[in-house]
Amino acid sequence: MTKTCARCQATFSCGAEEDAAPCWCAALPRVMPLSDAGCLCPSCLKAEIESIIAAAGLCASCRKSKRLTTKTGSAIYRCALAETDPKFTKFPRLPMADCPGYLKN
C-alpha cells in the first residue's frame, strides 16, 4: 500500500495492512505515541523516534512508563513502578540514561 508522509508529503510503501510480511516500521524502536497526524515515511519516522529518545531516554520505550501531555503540550513520563516501589520516582527527571526497572517495550 502506498501512503503519503504526514510531515514531508513523500510517498512510501506501507506493509501494515498487507498479510505477507510485517511493515518496515515494525523493526524500529517501539516509541509511542508519535503523532495523531498519520503515518510518517522512513526518514521522518526515524528522525521522530531519535528525537523522542533523546528527550526522554529509557522512559520513551519502557513498558512501565506512560507518556502524558501537559496543558502546554510538553511530554512528561509517569513511572508505574513508583506506585509500589519507593526507589522509583513517579515523574522521573528526563532523559533517563539508566534505570534498574527498565522493561523494553
Other beta carbons within 10 angstroms of residue 87's beta carbon come to 8
With a threshold of 0.85, does the pTM exceed it?
no
- Predicted local confidence at residue 92, as pLDDT: 95
Sign of CA dihedral 101, 96, 36, 81: positive
- Predicted local confidence at residue 52, as pLDDT: 87
- Predicted local confidence at residue 17, as pLDDT: 65
Kindly give the parts of the chain with pLDDT less than 70: 16-21, 32-36
Q: Which of 93, 105, 23 is nearest to 55 (CA)?
A: 93
- Predicted local confidence at residue 62, as pLDDT: 92
d(CA 94, CA 55): 7
Give 60's DSSP letter.
Answer: G
- For the chain, the distance separating the N- and C-terminal CA atoms, rounded to the nearest angstrom, is 27
- Predicted local confidence at residue 64, as pLDDT: 94
d(CA 76, CA 90): 11
- Predicted local confidence at residue 18, as pLDDT: 61
- Predicted local confidence at residue 25, as pLDDT: 83
- Predicted local confidence at residue 63, as pLDDT: 92
